[in-house]
Structure 1
């Protein structure tokens, strides 16, 4: 059997005021076991030394005449400069494992695969919010994502480290700018068109996540609003063209709707069954741990992480879940109710999450 010719790859790194985080990202790109043909940094209206830092690495630096206003627009600014088979989009605060490209590229030997991304973990666990996010990532990328992959219907190829077929991306019009989260929009669009999106569990990237509540709120609001925008845009078509993906989306919506009831369960049982608070709360916590801890233990072993550290981070996830739930409900009301009724424009302005 003749192996297809080796694919070529260009990296696009959109950056806005990233002089501190950019060096680690570029170092990880220069250390790849399969180096990219080209690295393009888009300095999107930075007021710091982002351009100078990028230029010192010998990469191509593009600087639009003004700030373009979103990651998708910055990436699209670079797309006409790409001539390779594949495009890897990497956030300017994300670090890739040295074999990231090597592990992702083989999935594109399948001509039906048009977008792929690896496993994302947190770079830092210094603050409560980062520690909570580390638990979210460990659980999501070792429970939800593998199941979705086995069903050939991943919910999203993470925008901080996704690889795309360049011609398909260009024919689509580039990275989608119609929603506030381009990665989910493109992942759903490609699957709706009959193409495959793939999760590559052995390819690892480490993302820098919000270290303060202020930035976490901005990021989660953007993510949740973007999810609901994509529900509004894609769900009707996915129900007929990609029913399994539509199923995951509906399950996610049901989880958002039912979460307040689950969180209030101890109080409800205490009031309705006239039981003491302690046993009821213990039952509820036991259920939570049973649903969560086995996956975290597996993830710790899979990623060679200290089990004690992983479990000590678990309580902090409830801080993040509180923020997630608030903005999920806000996004549901704004994007799925107020926008269709022309009572709101929804979230239109892209704000960085850190």
Structure 2
């Protein structure tokens, strides 16, 4: 386990500001600009930013490749009806099933008597091709497999087996389109990609080709014949057939055998299929056809063997071989990864629906419980409490924060702990001369140290904690401390609200706070495993804090850390929904990124720190076996998988099936909208902000995903994470017109020193 860096470590810019570091030469504006440019040029993108980006790009590339090899990008399922045959030479229409147009003068070839060329189209198929190969091997027969490139790339081991067992391979295009609809450029692409897959799968090229949807020579017409001539000029033999088993119709085993049996001992090219659907009848027909024709003196051979011609296979070497292998390997990786993603999508679907179901059910139970007329925590709590306000450079908003406390409906003492501010925060508070307000000054040591210092100066047994940029309503403290009438309660979480909702980012965070945080807290309250007392508005029993050793500096999420420690010590942690605190959420993507990065990273640290609770007994064990799995699943794992919903939406829009994909995505959105509407109703919020919910799911969720992914990478690689001081405007007003800064939300405590932390993983 590594240890945090020394307390109070500031950024170098803060430590050296206003100090002389030795004799310096005068620096002119031009020299300074050059130095700044060189300094910017030396900056490199940190790996924790680069790795998530690279991972997303790789994921997108794999999905595109999957769509490519599954014929979901360039697939063309049009099939043309027969046309006139006036342009087809009579010798071709009346000739054999092998058409040689390589020299310009097209000729045809027939298979000699008593020789059979069994051909199988559309494979290789992982289910039926191995069974077909087993039958051929059982009866000592060879054949020709006209494979499609997309299937060969996905199942290269079957192509390799075909070649190893002495069968011949032919091209059947990459995507199986009707070539009479295609341009010469598309035909070239279909052939080259088909060859690329063969090179990667078996290290060969082939010179025989069968057009999709072809039949007999006499069926050639004015549309298909130009294609055959063009392919001949490219150096290929075109192979059709003269005996069609029609197994694709699944007419029954007997009918397939009858249609595949040549007449009067003549040679034949028999058309069958090893892919494209259920081929059980084809496999069964081979059990009859092969021995029967062998008894009649037929031999089953490759095409070039039957024609006494050189092999159609040519070994591929050099760059072409490695290019093919790289392609096939990339396809294999994309198949495996997307297979895992599909499983992950199913898992996240179950998790999302389960979470929403639990949130709705348990939030309903929570609301019904606290609104019962006979519900009470005990006798109303009226004794004074201490309110701690840790502050670091909060001059912009500390005055409004303290004034909002000064009008509290509950008797309080206010302790402002100035954590080494350099902007006169403490002086401003003292100049206000408000009764009941004390200022405690300390050297910069971080928020946990500031809070512990405040606890030592507190006079009362209940301590309320808030941030120096937070505004309380007059009733907030009174509502927050009432649950302490129950002696089992050790801490209370308040209701943090976003005030700056006018911007789009603010509106999204408002939805997140109401739905994701406060609806979650109701659920966790019922389950008895509240994960976090928000730094913006929380209260603690002093005895409980002392028993667990006060606020800890072990993690960057001290609020989550202390909450878990209280659970393990046997205290109840509850939620007071009417204890509202108003916060100014980050208004830029960069500030939001910094804030959420620290939240998610600190939560991981806290989970890791308290991991032994899983195997312990008593209250710690109950929290470890209920609370930790819930927090880990719904706050760390599920958000990391949630963007799969949007990834597969994009995949479906590009590759299909578009209708079902869009319907499924909107189904999830509707469930989220129902939960959000219910959460807004419980919090008595205006529903108009939910207008931006669909856009939030498309954009905001992706940002949160990348932040969480970055946190995972930082944790797993042992990286350091600094505290971030967010810029505030002080423009948010609480109900009643008090202008103040708002905190960052649950766990908000930005800016308390640039302290390096190391992960506990």
Do the two structures share a fold, i.e. TM-score over 0.5?
yes
Structure-2 residue corresponding to 1:86: 462
Aligned mates of 1:133, 1:5 — CA distance in 2: 33
Structure 2 residue 695 is matched with structure 1 residue 320: no
Task: Summarize the Cα distance change of 1:67–1:140 in structure 2 as closer, same or farther, 3 Å threshold.
Answer: same
- Range moving further from structure 2, 225-234 or 281-290: 281-290
Counterpart secondary structure, 2:642: helix
Residues 1:39 and 2:414 are matched in the alignment: yes
User: What does residue 350 of structure 1 align with?
Assistant: 723
2:646 is aligned with 1:267? no
Q: CA RMSD in A?
A: 2.3
2:463 is aligned with 1:95: no
Q: CA deviation at 1:45?
A: 2.1
Distance 1:235 1:353 in 2: 31
Aligned to 2:711: 331
Counterpart of 1:295? 675
User: Does 180-189 or 196-205 show the bigger shift?
Assistant: 196-205
Q: Could you tell me whether the CA contact under 8 Å between 2:680 and 2:687 is conserved in 1?
A: yes
Q: Which of 417, 423, 445 in structure 2 is aligned with 1:48? A: 423
8 Å contact from structure 1 (residues 136, 317) kept in 2: no
Higher RCO (CA 8 Å, separation ≥ 6 residues): 1
CA distance in 1, matches of 2:422, 2:511: 34
Give the aligned partner of residue 20 of structure 1. 396
Once the two structures are overlaid, the 10-residue window that deviates more, 3-12 or 179-188, is 3-12
Among 496, 512, 522, the alignment partner of 1:146 is 522
SS in 2 for 1:62: strand
Distance 1:157 1:239 in 2: 24
Deviations 1:192-233 (A, max 9, x none): 121111111122111111111221111111101101111211
Comparing 42-51 with 218-227, which one deviates more in the overlay? 42-51
**Number of positions where the alignment pairs a residue of Structure 1 with one of Structure 2:** 340
Q: Is the 8 A contact 2:471 2:581 kept in 1?
A: yes
Is the CA contact (8 Å cut-off) linking 1:26 and 1:57 kept in structure 2?
Answer: no
Matched, 1:133 2:509: yes
C-alpha separation between the residues in 1 aligned to 2:385 and 2:651? Answer: 55
Structure 1: any 5+ residue segments left out of the alignment? none
Q: How does 1:224-303 map to 2 (within 5 A)?
A: 224-238=600-614, 240=616, 241=621, 242=623, 243-252=625-634, 253-269=636-652, 274-276=656-658, 279-280=659-660, 282-303=662-683
Q: 1:152 to 1:111 in 2, by over 3 A?
A: same
TM-score normalised by the chain length of structure 1:
0.88
Seen in structure 2, the aligned counterparts of structure 1 residues 199 and 57 have a Cα distance that, compared at 3 Å, is farther
Against the structure 1 CA distance between its residues 280 and 129, is the aligned structure 2 distance closer, same or farther, given a 3 Å change threshold? Answer: same
Greater alpha carbon shift after TM alignment, 315-324 vs 83-92:
315-324
Is the alpha carbon distance of 1:280 and 1:25 closer, same or farther for their aligned partners in structure 2, counting shifts above 3 Å? farther
Offset of residue 268 of structure 1: 4.0
Q: Report the Cα distance in structure 2 between the residues aligned to 1:12 and 1:320, rounded to whole angstroms.
A: 33
C-alpha contact (below 8 Å) 2:493/2:533 kept by paired residues: yes
CA distance in 1, matches of 2:700, 2:598: 15
Change (3 A) 1:142 1:186: closer
Q: Provide, for residues 265-293 of structure 1, a one-character-per-residue CA deviation record: whole Å limited to 9, x for no partner.
A: 22344577x423xx355324412422222
Residue 132 of structure 1: how far off its partner (Å): 1.5
